[in-house]
Amino acid sequence: VNRLGLVLITIAFCFFTGSVNAQRERTELEFPDIPGYVTLKCEFHMHTVFSDGSVWPPVRVDEAWREGYDAISITDHLEYLPHRHDMVLTNFNRSYELAKGTARSLDLLLVRAAELTRGEPPGHWNLLFLKDANAIPTKDYREALRAARKQEAFVFWNHPGWKQPNRKSKWYDEQQEAFTNGWLHGIEIVNGSEYDPIAHQWCLDKKLTMVGNSDLHGPSAQEYGPATGKRRPVTLVFAKEKSLGSLKEALFSRRTAVCANNFIYGEKKYLHPLFDQWIEVKTPSLTIRPKGRALLQVHNDGELDLVLASNGQVDGVGFPETITLSAGKTVALDLRRTEAALEPGTRLELPYSVQNMKIAPDHALSVRIGFVLARPGKN
């Protein structure tokens, strides 16, 4: 190859790698649909240069798509605008408008939203599904919440413990008033890496919707992902279909769960089917001779490593007290048969509680891992 040839090859190579770098890639979040619902992976709290964030709005959409999300809302502050000396900030719909085209081309649902930002109380509130963010008055927060209600917005209270002593969330008269008036529909039980058990319990007691969000200000990759070892929060929304209308209906109907820091929080009726979708017993029929041993193979197809602790006994069979079902792996559980009286064909169910699937702050999800005792020589 002569010199010109080398130059041409180099140029061709640069073009080739250039086009590879330009390829967009999405890492799917392994939260499957549950019976009756599409599981939408969502994030409802992040900022851009249009308030105190450092990224341009379409970047938020691109990041979210790459990280496996189906729906997001950009929630720039209505009041706190530190970039106002660098940019003309008069249109509170602008971040949504700029991000909309990218969202459409990536088939990601983008919710028009804003963050109402007050001292505590009443604190910070995210207003989702706004029709016009400019029509939210910013002087009197009650007027703002009233206007959001008029626009049929879904409103949640952000990071309730943020400014409280010891981060202990407090339910103020202002919250009670908003709750009574139907202005408040959900609470952040996770903000960034912080889980709030008090807010979690409020959602259960007061029938409010649980959400968990990043509250990102800088680029997502700086705070989350493989390089940091930190998981970006996900609000799972169990919707009738993937559309903005269904997303909104599901949020008002409290069909959510929150995944953050390798935990998942939600009601049993959503966590149980999710566990069932994730876990598969690979050896559903197993021979264990009297006084013998066998390995029960259990596969976890989900997004999280699940940590299980036994919460009961099974007559005639001993099984591990604690197990970790690693995401994407099959684990072989060591079983011991202690009793000869078990009939072949008996279905056995190993009782466990999943330590990192929480149906209440102090309550882990109870599950059963079942198999049938086979006739010797059958498997």
Binding residues vs Zn ion (CB under 5 A):
115, 124, 158, 215
- CB 79, min distance to Zn ion, A: 11
Between residues 156 and 202, which has the closer beta carbon with respect to Zn ion? 156
Distance of CA 222 to the CA centre of its chain: 19
Between residues 126 and 283, which has the closer beta carbon with respect to Zn ion? 126
Phi, psi torsion values for 335, nearest 5 degrees: -110, 145
- Name which of 74, 146, 68 is nearest 110 in CA terms: 74
Contact 94, 49 (CB under 8 A): no
Between residues 102 and 158, which has the closer beta carbon with respect to Zn ion? 158
Between residues 116 and 257, which has the closer beta carbon with respect to Zn ion? 116
C-alpha R_g of the chain: 25
- CB 117, min distance to Zn ion, A: 6
Find the residue with minimal CB distance to Zn ion: 124
Please give the structure tokens belonging to residue 309: 């602790």
- CB 124, min distance to Zn ion, A: 3
- CB 92, min distance to Zn ion, A: 14
Q: How far apart are CA 35 and CA 55, in angstroms?
A: 38
Contact 57, 98 (CB under 8 A): yes
Between residues 70 and 215, which has the closer beta carbon with respect to Zn ion? 215
- CB 123, min distance to Zn ion, A: 8
Altogether, the residues listed in the chain come to a count of 379
- Name which of 7, 102, 121, 14 is nearest 62 in CA terms: 102
- CB 257, min distance to Zn ion, A: 22
Between residues 217 and 240, which has the closer beta carbon with respect to Zn ion? 217
Q: What is the dihedral of CA 255, 260, 265, 271, to 10 degrees?
A: 70
